[in-house]
Amino acid sequence: MGVDLLPRFPLDNSDRNRTSPFAFTGNKFEFRMVGSAMSCASPNIVLNTIAAESFDEFATRLEKSKNVKKEASAIVAEVIKNHKRVIFNGNGYSAEWEKEAEKRGLPNVKNSVDAHKAFTTRKAKDIFAKYGVLSNEELHSRYEIYIEQYAKIINIEGQTALKMAKTLFIPSVIRYAETLSDAVIKAKQAGVSTKTQSQLLEEVTFLLESAVKKTAALESELAKAAKIQETVKKAETYRDNVFTAFTSLREDIDALETIMPEAAWPVPVYSEMLFNL
């Protein structure tokens, strides 16, 4: 590139931004968007293909240029100008960044089903075909495999939530409600105030009834989703209906966990898992 000597760059050992999907950590970038259960293979295929296209474009321009140094400076300036909107050094998990990203015109894809549609775009097909990485058929097969996998995982999670609610949480809450009812009766017989016991019983009963209704709703949504044959529609149904149903059910279960005694709760509580295991 016509550069005889590179300046010294101080190494930064700190972790600059743990909330960034592409964190710059001193002398390298770290890709942090891969889920804990995912293989890094597919993301690396995408990243390497994207990088190959960029290097190809840069190299082609430099090879054709009569003034390499000037052309290199022009390339850097263009890249920064065209893509600096993706650079953000704040909290990538914050609502403020979502608003800022929208203002910058950046996409905000919030679920896997929509994200995987990127495999079917003309842009994706062209770049993978251009470098002989994946054919259109191979891209589409991966798209279908990923969304089918998504549907299966959500189904497993939904079925697990349903079974736990039916066989663990709801029976335990019923037993605790019976204990509270006995406490209210005995307090009345003793002629003392039942305000605290009654309030707690009302709260537990309210959440119990809500959880029972949501359990039935989850069971219904699981049955409906299982009947769908078309792959994309099935994945969308699991996302929109099943995932929503067991997330709503979890809200009641989480609320019950905070007010029930640990001895009455059928599984380890969060505090126990975090600090005692």
Q: Which residues, 6 or more positions from 104, have their beta carbon under 8 angstroms from its beta carbon?
A: 85
Residue with structure tokens 């891209």? 139
Domains along the sequence of the chain with CATH: 1-108 (no CATH), 141-275 (1.20.120.1560)
In DSSP notation, 237-267 reads HIIIIIHHHHHHHHHHHHHHHHHS-GGG-SS
**Mean pLDDT value of segment 213-240:** 97
**Contact of 201 with 222, CB cutoff 8 Å:** no
The C-alpha atoms of residue 64 and residue 196 are separated, in whole angstroms, by 82
User: Residue 275's pLDDT is what?
Assistant: 81
User: Residue 21's pLDDT is what?
Assistant: 82
Q: pLDDT (tens digit, 9 = 90+) per residue, 167-200?
A: 999 999 999 999 999 999 999 999 999 999 999 9
User: Residue 44's pLDDT is what?
Assistant: 92
User: Residue 27's pLDDT is what?
Assistant: 74
Alpha-helix runs per DSSP H in the chain: 41-64, 68-83, 95-103, 112-115, 122-130, 136-164, 170-190, 195-227, 231-237, 243-259, 270-275
Q: Which residues, 6 or more positions from 217, have their beta carbon under 8 angstroms from its beta carbon?
A: 245, 248, 249
- Helix (H) or strand (E) holding 14, with range, is none
User: Residue 277's pLDDT is what?
Assistant: 64
The C-alpha atoms of residue 194 and residue 184 are separated, in whole angstroms, by 6
Question: In this structure, which long-range contacts are made by residues 8-11, counting pairs with CB atoms below 8 Å and at least 24 apart in sequence?
Answer: none
Residue with structure tokens 């995982």? 153
The C-alpha atoms of residue 253 and residue 176 are separated, in whole angstroms, by 14
Average pLDDT of the chain?
A: 91
Q: Is the pLDDT of residue 38 over 80?
A: yes
**Mean pLDDT value of segment 113-140:** 95
Q: What is the pTM of this model?
A: 0.84
Q: pLDDT (tens digit, 9 = 90+) per residue, 42-51?
A: 889 999 999 9
Q: Is the pLDDT of residue 4 over 90?
A: no
Q: Which residues, 6 or more positions from 101, have their beta carbon under 8 angstroms from its beta carbon?
A: 88, 108
The C-alpha atoms of residue 277 and residue 275 are separated, in whole angstroms, by 6
User: Residue 39's pLDDT is what?
Assistant: 86
User: Residue 17's pLDDT is what?
Assistant: 65
**Mean pLDDT value of segment 236-261:** 97
Question: In this structure, which long-range contacts are made by residues 260-268, counting pairs with CB atoms below 8 Å and at least 24 apart in sequence?
Answer: 260/172, 260/173, 260/176, 260/204, 261/176, 264/172, 264/175, 264/176, 264/179, 265/172, 266/168, 266/169, 266/171, 266/172, 267/164, 267/168
The C-alpha atoms of residue 128 and residue 134 are separated, in whole angstroms, by 5
User: Residue 32's pLDDT is what?
Assistant: 82
Longest dimension (CA), the chain: 99
The C-alpha atoms of residue 198 and residue 182 are separated, in whole angstroms, by 11
Angle of helix 136-164 versus helix 243-259 axis, rounded to 10: 40
Percentage of the chain surpassing pLDDT 70? 94
